[in-house]
Amino acid sequence: MSSWELVVADFVTYTQRRWTGGIRLIEGQFQVHIDPGPGAVVRSVDAGLSIESVRLLLLSHSHPDHCGDAEIFIEGMTHGNTRHRGILVAPRSVLTGSDTVEASISRYHQSFVSQLIQAQPGRAYQVEGIRVVATKAMHTDPDGVGFVIDCPGSGTIGYVSDTGSFDGLADQYRGTRLLILCVMRPRGAPLRGHLSVDDARDIIASARPNMAVLTHFGMRMLNESPIDQAKYIQESTGIHTVAGFDGMVLALNGGIEVTSLRRHRRAEDEAGHGKQTNLR
């Protein structure tokens, strides 16, 4: 319970034992990127996902593993800062700083997006047919938020970013089709300001999504098998729960199909096209 415990997550970021590129959502021609941490630009290029195609950038909080590549994404969205284009949704700490952190996105970069929205828990934002609701979080960045994204073609997707457990947390994500949770620690290993598998089990049991995905693992979680931890949650709740992996692709069509970026790209090559329309 020392300060060493509080920096374990950074080990995963700087060792890149797991990628920290965030999540790409593709809804028809509209693309959203959530929490582009270190490596998001390189991973996107390697995957054939154009940064210029992103229209909406969602940042949950100010820590670099969630927004380290955000300014480069803004440069891509705005064609090298030559056009006012794209929408940035982020909490106060990211945009202007707070008592605990300085702004994560420069005023220079903020000036080029076409719309700047300060995310506040409970507030809903309509963006080209997609509804985004900022949800409450309790993290070491007190301005941090999560998101619920309602997409006409894919359904409602919940993103529980870094947060500790609190009363009412699960209520914000009821009715989601897919729930993605940042789960730092395994069973029996709580950590202030973050979710453990025990917390995630309780959230999933209460929110009852169609499917849950665990991600954002610390070293201890990785060493104790995220697959086994996800299996425990599934057996405890009856909700289909999987552990995220690098290059994971979720196709939200009639059901929710899990595949890998490598297999997804191979299938597209065989079909003779490169259109990608699923959550990454």
CATH architecture of structural domain 3-271: 4-Layer Sandwich (3.60)
pLDDT band for 6, please (50, 70, 90 cuts).
very low
115 bridge partner residues: 87
CA dist 231 and 236 (Å) reads 9
Among 24, 264, 276, CA closest to 159: 24
pLDDT score for 3: 28
Q: What is the mean pLDDT of residues 51-72?
A: 96
- On the question of pLDDT at 263 being above 90, the answer is no
Q: Is the pLDDT of residue 8 over 50?
A: no
Position 2 pLDDT exceeds 50:
no
Q: How many CB atoms lie within 10 A of CB 98?
A: 16
Return the pLDDT at 266: 54
Exposed e or buried b per residue across 141-177, where buried means at least 16 C-beta atoms within 10 angstroms of its C-beta: bbbbbbbbbbbeebbbbbbbbbbbbeeebbebbeebb
Tokens standing for residue 258? 């899990």
Question: Chain-wide mean pLDDT for the chain?
Answer: 90
Q: What is the pLDDT of residues 23-60, one digit of tens each?
A: 999 998 899 999 999 999 999 999 999 999 999 999 99
pTM of the model: 0.91
Q: Take residue 58 and report the two structure tokens written for it.
A: 């969602």
pLDDT single digits (tens) 132-143: 999 999 999 999
